[in-house]
Each structure stands twice: as C-alpha cells, then as structure tokens.
Structure 1
Amino acid sequence: MSQYDPLIDSVAARLGNGLRRLGLKVTTAESCTGGGISEAITRVSGSSGWFETGFVTYANSSKVRLLGVTEEDLANHGAVSEQVVRAMAEGALQAADADLAVAVSGVAGPEGGTPEKPVGTVWFAWAIRGRGVFAQCKRLQGSRKEVRAHTVLKALEGLVIEVERALAARSS
C-alpha cells in the first residue's frame, strides 16, 4: 500500500460526490500512470454514474490513434510536453463525450530522464467542456511508485478544484 492511498481515496470520493451532484461525467487520458487515475476513480462506489471511459495511451501510437495527438507534436515536443497533454485531454473529452478530462504524461523513472526532462517530470492537463484546457508541469520526487502515486493524486486534485468551482458557481 502506498502512503498516498488514503489521501487518493479521500480525494476520489470528493470528486465523485461533486460529479454526482452536478450530473457530470469525467474521463482520463493516462500515460505514465498506466490507468492509476481511472482505478482510483472507480474505487468509489457508484462511480459508473460519473465515469464511463478512460484511455491508457502508454505508447505514442495509441496517443495518435485514440486521442488525436499529432505525429508532428510528438516529433517536435515529445510525449512529455504541454502540447501533447493538452491534445490528450481534448481528445479524451471528445472521444468519451465527457464533461471533464484529465491527461498525464511523464517520466516516472528510474530510467528515461534527460537533462531537459529529468525523472519526475510530469505534464498534467485538465479539459472542461466549454471552458478550455489548463496545463501544468510538475517535478516530482521519489521512486517510480511514488512519482506515479503523486501524479494520480495531483490529477484528481485538479479535477476536484474544477468540480468545486462549478458547485460554488451553482450555489451563488
């Protein structure tokens, strides 16, 4: 069990509660987490009410085929880049016909890092239907397992922020 699991469970439950209250659907586009975000979301009872589809696009070819990432963006910027995670989030949002999407692509390690993109570099993107895409890069520390767990947590926290903004707007 990861040190992050209780916190991940708590954030996933908050996300699910907010999505249920708003009647919204969420989707995921995951590379370095290999389905971990989707797994955390579906740990919550009733998650079929707000989660139908997730994409694990570990290989670049699957990012192109399933999410519409361009070969040009992959060649010019690499899979671990703002351009690619933005395209992943937008592609997932459309393909899953969801209201919110999160995408992640990173270098979990222990190999694969470069001076420009060291181990622990993770790009996140959150897409909200009708509101656009927000992207952010984080440099995470720790083992492969810790980088992946922290990525899942950060991805869920970003979704919760958007859902709680929507709930606040609805009640004002």
Structure 2
Amino acid sequence: MIGPAQPQREQFGVWTVTGREAVAARIDEFIADADDQIVYMAVDELLTDEHLDQLRAAEDRGVDLYIAGISDDVRGQIQETVPSAELFETLWEWRDTPAGSLLITDEETVLVSSLVNGSGGTNEIEETAIWGAGDRNSLVVVLRAIFTWRLGGERAG
C-alpha cells in the first residue's frame, strides 16, 4: 500500500559557513548544481582555480553566466576561461568594504560572504558566509529582486 503523499516543505532558514575552504566548497557545489543561470561576484583573492573550473563546466552545460565585482585582471582571466560570461557593473564599491563573494544560482540559491577578523584576537582574516535556498527564502527573494533589476537594466542599456 502506498502512503499518502506528503507535500514537500521548503526550509526558509539561512545557514552560516565559516572558513575559506568551507565557503569555497559550498560555492563550487552551488555552481556545479546550477542548470540555468549563475550570478557571481568576488574579490580577487577569493576567486579560485576550482571556481573557474566549475564556471567553465557550467558554461559547457549551457548555463547563463553573469560576472561582476572583481578587478580588471581577474575579469580578463574569467573572460579567457568562460568567454560567454556577461560582465556587469556592481551596485556597490567593494574595494573599501569587507565584502567577499556573492553567488546566485538558478534564482533559487544565494550565498553571500564577507571577510572578517579572525576569532581569538588574531590578525588573520577569515571568510564567513550565509546562504539560503528556495524560491520563497527571504535572502533569495531580496537578492534575486536586486540582481534581476540590475541585470535587466544592463541588458536594456
């Protein structure tokens, strides 16, 4: 006998991940799972070869790529690696902020990281990220609205 179908319940939380390796692994996972669209922004030191490999694989799968928030040198590196990526200007000046990375995949998964002073009084800089998933997740809804507007404006201009 087949039991009653339970409606799938979406989780509305926001999760935290700390440490550059852990954040980088989450970014690679989300890029690898993307089917339609990736919006990716990062400061120079957080763009890894693995991220570039994942972006290239996404391009090969036909995923639309939108890249911003990085230096001219890194933009050149990304354009070489993933020539179909559309570059756009960010709304924010990232150089003087603790911003790290922002990733939106398929308008349903969002990760935002920042660079913060390490715990325990060290001068080491750590990366901490929050992420959420689901088309009704608050973090996803807000950032999707901002970037849908921004990307739409870039295309129209």
Q: Which structure: greater helix fraction?
A: 1
Q: Which has the larger radius of gyration?
A: 2
Q: TM above 0.5, one fold?
A: no
Q: Which structure: greater strand fraction?
A: 2
In the superposition, the TM-score normalised over structure 1's length comes to 0.34
